[in-house]
């Protein structure tokens, strides 16, 4: 009897603690895509795209800085990845680079952008022209995110692949294609006492 009471008391106590952390600190809880992934991928990929020859070629050709707009990043994965924060990260990196003119996409929400694009009967070409006319952009950055999951019992290996491309709106030609992979290992114990 006494033993039971002691165990009961031991079980009581604070069950929640709060610790303040820096916004940039990497914290991986569930193994899902998180804000660290979003930030790191955006930084790396924008650094990559802006270091390529197309910027210089455009400047030499048109004698001005290119105007870039960020289009849709489609979630083609098996996880509910919030694409809007990722797009915002891409936009931030573009603006802060100072190497291109960032053109804001008037349709802030991805769903609205897709909705507008789909209203046309011939979606891609029409919406592209519209982006150019409305925003006066020279290039559009867009892409998708896919996942490959490999699972054995409680162990899971997740690959996220972010594919982006930069398209010259006038010529409809791709001037840059980039790809970034993230790999995560998530392990869940199969037994406990």
Partner 1 sequence: MVIRIYPRKALWFCTAALSLFLMSCGASTEFYTTVEQDVSQGRYDKAIEGVRSNRSAYGDKSSVLFNLDMGVLYHYAGEPDSSNKYLFLAEKEIEDLYTKSISLAALSFVLNDNVLPYDGEDFERVLVNVFLALNYAEKNQPDEALVEARKVDLKLREYAKQYEGKNKYQEDAFIRYIAGALYESGDEVNDAFISYRKAYETYRTYLKEYGTPAPSFLLDDLVRTATLLSFTEETKKYLALGGKPFDRKSRSDGSVLVIMYAGKGPIKEEIRPTVSIPDSAGILHTFQIALPKFVPRFRGQRSYQVAVRSNADSTRTVGARTEVVQNVTAIASKALDDRLAMLYLKSGGRAVLKFLAAEKAKSSLSKDGDSKAKNVLGSLAIDLFVGVTEQADVRTWRTLPAEFQMARVNLPKGDYRMTVVSSDGAYTLRDVDVRVRPAKTSFIIVDDVR
Which of 6, 84, 112, 149 binds partner 1 (CB under 8 A)? It is 149
Which of 38, 46, 77, 142 binds partner 1 (CB under 8 A)? It is 77
Q: Provide CB contacts within 8 A for 155, sequence distance 6+.
A: 185, 186, 187, 188
Which of 15, 17, 171, 191 binds partner 1 (CB under 8 A)? It is 191
Which of 74, 92, 99, 180 binds partner 1 (CB under 8 A)? It is 74
Separation CA 75–CA 160 (nearest Å): 11
Q: Provide CB contacts within 8 A for 31, sequence distance 6+.
A: 156, 158, 184, 186
**Cβ pair 125, 102 in contact under 8 A:** no
Length of the chain: 193
Which of 28, 57, 108, 111 binds partner 1 (CB under 8 A)? It is 111
Which of 53, 154, 179, 183 binds partner 1 (CB under 8 A)? It is 154
**Count of CB atoms situated within 10 Å of the CB of 130:** 14
Q: In what order do the strands lie in the sheet with 101-103?
A: 101-103, 67-75, 139-152, 155-168, 173-187
Which of 76, 174, 181, 183 binds partner 1 (CB under 8 A)? It is 76
Query: Cα(first)–Cα(last) distance of the chain, in Å?
Result: 22
Q: Which is nearer to partner 1, 114 or 134 (CB)?
A: 114
Give SS3 for 25. coil
Would you count residue 190 as binding partner 1 (CB under 8 A)?
A: yes
Q: Which is nearer to partner 1, 150 or 179 (CB)?
A: 150
Would you count residue 80 as binding partner 1 (CB under 8 A)?
A: yes
- Smallest distance from partner 1 to CB 80, Å: 6
Q: Which is nearer to partner 1, 31 or 48 (CB)?
A: 31
Residues that bind partner 1 (CB under 8 A): 74-80, 111, 114, 118, 121, 123, 149, 151, 154, 188-193
């Amino acid at each position: 009897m006494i033993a039971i009471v002691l165990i009961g008391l031991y079980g009581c106590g604070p069950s929640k603690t709060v610790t303040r952390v820096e916004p940039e600190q990497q914290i991986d809880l569930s193994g899902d895509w998180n804000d660290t992934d979003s930030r790191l991928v955006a930084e790396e990929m924008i650094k990559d795209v802006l270091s390529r020859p197309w910027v210089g070629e455009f400047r030499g050709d048109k004698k001005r800085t290119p105007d870039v707009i960020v289009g849709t990043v489609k979630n083609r994965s098996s996880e509910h990845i919030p694409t809007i924060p990722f797009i915002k990260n891409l936009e931030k990196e573009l603006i802060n680079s100072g190497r291109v003119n960032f053109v804001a996409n008037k349709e802030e929400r991805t769903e609205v952008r897709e909705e507008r694009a789909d209203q046309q009967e011939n979606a891609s070409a029409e919406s592209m022209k519209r982006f150019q006319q409305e925003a006066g952009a020279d290039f559009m950055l867009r892409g998708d995110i896919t996942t490959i999951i490999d699972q054995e019992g409680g162990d899971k290996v997740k690959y996220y692949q972010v594919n982006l491309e930069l398209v010259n709106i006038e010529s409809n030609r791709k001037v840059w294609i980039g790809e970034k992979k993230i790999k995560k290992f998530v392990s869940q114990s199969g037994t406990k006492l």
